[in-house]
Amino acid sequence: MSILVYTENWDGKFKKLSFELVSYAAAIAKEMGLDLTALSIGNVADDELNKLGNYGASKILKVENDKFNSLDNKALSKAVVAAAENVGAKIVVFAHNNLGKALAPRVSVKLNAGLVSGVTELPSSTSPFVVKKKVFTGKAFANVKVDAENVVLTFAQNSYEIVETGGSAAVEAFDPQVGDADFSTVVNETNKITGKVLLNDAEIVVSGGRGMKSGDNWGGLEELADLLNAGMACSRPVSDEGWRSHDEHVGQTGKIIAPNLYFAFGISGAIQHLGGVSSSKVIVAINKDPEAPIFEAADYGIVGDVFKVIPQLIEGVKEM
Amino acid sequence: MKILVLISNVPDTTTKIRFTGDNTAFDAAGVQWIINPWDELALTRAMELKEAGGVEKITVANVGEKITEATLRKALAVGADDAIRIDAPAKDAFFVASQLSKIAGDYDLILAGIEASDYNGNAVGGMLAELLDYNSVSAVSGINMDGDKFVINREIDGGSQVLSVTGPLVAIVQKGIAKEPRIPAMRGIMMARKKPLNVVEAVDAHEKTSFVNFELPPPKAACKMVDEENAKELITLLHEEAKVL
């Protein structure tokens, strides 16, 4: 018996998220006395696959079949289920990202499993299986009990420490035997975001709100983000006004992020905005209104004019 | 073509979250209920597709007790043609998806929100697709019809794609699917009273998860303030004290 973790790759490489995910799954496997198998679908070199061994995977099933490149949800779920059955998995763990969220519900039905999405901690009990997840968009947590024979989890990024075990994994080619009839998604066009730090991966995020006054005043924030290797974000009014792209909207109805450090410039901190950023480890708020609710959520704050503060911060970072 | 839009009845997004019964249940006292924001956008897009031609009917459906009918009526007022309420408490995502699978088989396109803003399950749309053996596309930020195909914009981790997918299909939608949610007009509210809202008995299904209890995040320590004229000090604090730079 085993735990299966689905490790997605990006152009043949894993990310910090992948290692965090494997570390998390390995800790559950250890607790339950099970093995950890990682499933990789796509063209990933064995050297890269072997890295997963260092985070606790003892076996890696690799599926190299270009048909899966279309990320067809039905076909990919079948492949994950085939792998789970192959290793007798009681628990399947996905990342709580676009692909994980797409596949986990389908896989849970097929495996007769209880699904808990967005888990943030190790299970508090494994029999019965009880695990904590975010609810009300980060405004609360729930302890969820699974009343089914199997468990499927999606794991919220940046909530578990990466643990290197020094172990190694056996790589095994695997054919999930998914037929052509199960592929119906045709990709006409793929646009990858390049040259920018992806918001979900960013350890530092620099975000601006209505206090930025227009779409023309973002040079300073971009410079600061660049210096800090940070992702750029914005509040909902900013993306609604078209000052910044919708991809950058963080908040209840936009992206939910959990960086180590979140800078909120000119963001009042409406409850919907806080829902998207409240899991950040440290929140810094700069706002001219001392009564702005963002200061209740923030760890550090400056009451003042963002346009006076930004150049000083840039200077401070350069001197660091 | 017929479109089914799944509706979740959720607390208004500005609701202060509280729990009762020794933190075992959400405190619904005084809560205003709304259509889940993503479902509202899905319904708006369904209306736009209907107005562009080729859609004969839009049905909205939910699983919930009688109290949730006000939310379905609102969806009818926005413009759905009819509504189905499956009469049972929404126990968990699998229970809800199992109920919906009994009424969803007649539709060419099923639109589900990426998550409900209450329990953030990210689950019902994908589970329903699996139960119906339909394909699903998640993180959908745009959808159009092209003959018997759907042309879909999908967000992937690190970019976006344009896809062609044949139906029947479950599209799990997020921000971008429609610009602004439609607000019901007075005429729509009047008409909604006469539109059919069919109550269907629940089928036997077992939930697979349950809430043991809830917790609120620990209160934050007071915000440490830095003077505007001395903003550089903030960088020093982040570097030396918080150790995040």
Nearest by CB to B157, from A98, A189, A316: name it: A98
Does this chain's domain A2-182 share its CATH topology with A204-319?
A: yes
Confidence of residue A196 (pLDDT cuts 50, 70, 90): confident
Q: Is there a contact between A109 and B130 if contact means CB atoms under 8 Å apart? A: yes
pLDDT at A193: 84
Fold of A2-182: Rossmann fold (3.40.50)
Confidence of residue B27 (pLDDT cuts 50, 70, 90): very high
Whether the CB of A177 is below 8 Å from some CB of chain B: the reply is no
Nearest by CB to A101, from B122, B130, B245: name it: B122
CA of B130 to nearest chain A CA: how many angstroms apart?
A: 5
A136, A158, A197, A244: which to substitute to probe chain B, counting the most B Cβ within 10 Å?
A136
B17, B44, B163, B237: which to substitute to probe chain A, counting the most A Cβ within 10 Å?
B163
Give ipTM to 2 decimals.
0.96
pLDDT mean over B54-71 = 97
For the domain B2-218, what is the CATH code? Answer: 3.40.50.620
Confidence of residue B94 (pLDDT cuts 50, 70, 90): very high
Taking a contact as any Cβ pair under 8 Å apart, which residues of chain B between 182 and 241 contact chain A?
Answer: 206-217, 220-221, 223-228, 231-232, 234-239
pLDDT mean over A217-238 = 96
Q: Is there a contact between A312 and B232 if contact means CB atoms under 8 Å apart? A: yes
Q: Is there a contact between B227 and A192 if contact means CB atoms under 8 Å apart? A: no
pLDDT at A99: 97
Nearest 5°: the CA angle A226, A227, A228 is: 90
Q: Report the Cα A303 to chain-centroid distance in Å.
A: 32
Q: How many whole angstroms separate alpha carbon A140 and alpha carbon B25? A: 12
pLDDT at A41: 98
How confident is the model over B125-169, as pLDDT tens digits? 999 999 999 999 999 999 999 988 999 999 998 899 999 999 999
Average pLDDT score over chain B: 96
DSSP secondary structure letters along chain A = -EEEEE---BTTB--HHHHHHHHHHHHHHHHHT-EEEEEEES---HHHHHGGGGGT-SEEEEE--GGGGG--HHHHHHHHHHHHHHHTEEEEEEESSHHHHHHHHHHHHHTTEEEEEEE-S--SEETTEEEEEEEGGGTEEEEEEE-SSEEEEEEPTTSS---------EEEE------GGG--EEEEEEEE--SS--TTT-SEEEEE-GGG-STT--HHHHHHHHHHTPEEEE-HHHHHTTSS-GGGBBSTTSB----SEEEEES----HHHHHHHTT-SEEEEEES-TT-THHHH-SEEEES-HHHHHHHHHHHHHH-
For the domain A204-319, what is the CATH code? Answer: 3.40.50.1220
Is a pLDDT exceeding 80 seen at residue A195? no
Nearest by CB to B123, from A115, A278, A316: name it: A115
Whether the CB of B164 is below 8 Å from some CB of chain A: the reply is yes
Taking a contact as any Cβ pair under 8 Å apart, which residues of chain B between 132 and 161 contact chain A?
Answer: 134-139, 151, 155-161
pLDDT at B122: 95
Average pLDDT score over chain A: 96
As a 3-state breakdown, chain B gives helix, strand, coil percent values, each rounded to 5, of 25, 35, 40
pLDDT mean over B198-220 = 95
The full set of domain ranges for chain A reads: 2-182, 204-319
Q: Report the Cα B217 to chain-centroid distance in Å.
A: 24
Q: Is there a contact between A319 and B242 if contact means CB atoms under 8 Å apart? A: no
Q: How many whole angstroms separate alpha carbon B198 and alpha carbon B177? A: 27
Which residue has better confidence, A201 or A207? A207
Q: How many whole angstroms separate alpha carbon A274 and alpha carbon B136? A: 30
* Alpha-carbon separation of residue B148 from B54, B108, B144 (angstroms): 10, 10, 11
In percent, how much of chain B has pLDDT > 90?
94
Confidence of residue B70 (pLDDT cuts 50, 70, 90): very high
Q: Is there a contact between B139 and A296 if contact means CB atoms under 8 Å apart? A: no
pLDDT at A246: 86
Is a pLDDT exceeding 90 seen at residue A318? yes
Contact B202, B87 (CB under 8 A): yes
pLDDT mean over B21-27 = 96
Is a pLDDT exceeding 90 seen at residue B115? yes
- The token duo for B51 is 């107005």
> In sequence order, which residues have a C-beta less than 8 Å from that of residue B2 and are 6 or more positions away?
B55, B56, B57, B58, B59, B106, B107, B108, B109
Taking a contact as any Cβ pair under 8 Å apart, which residues of chain A between 25 and 64 contact chain B?
Answer: none
Closest CA in chain B for residue A302:
B226
How confident is the model over A179-188, as pLDDT tens digits? 999 999 999 9
Is a pLDDT exceeding 80 seen at residue A38? yes
Is a pLDDT exceeding 90 seen at residue A200? no
How confident is the model over A89-142, as pLDDT tens digits? 999 999 999 999 999 999 999 999 999 999 999 999 999 999 999 999 888 999
The full set of domain ranges for chain B reads: 2-218
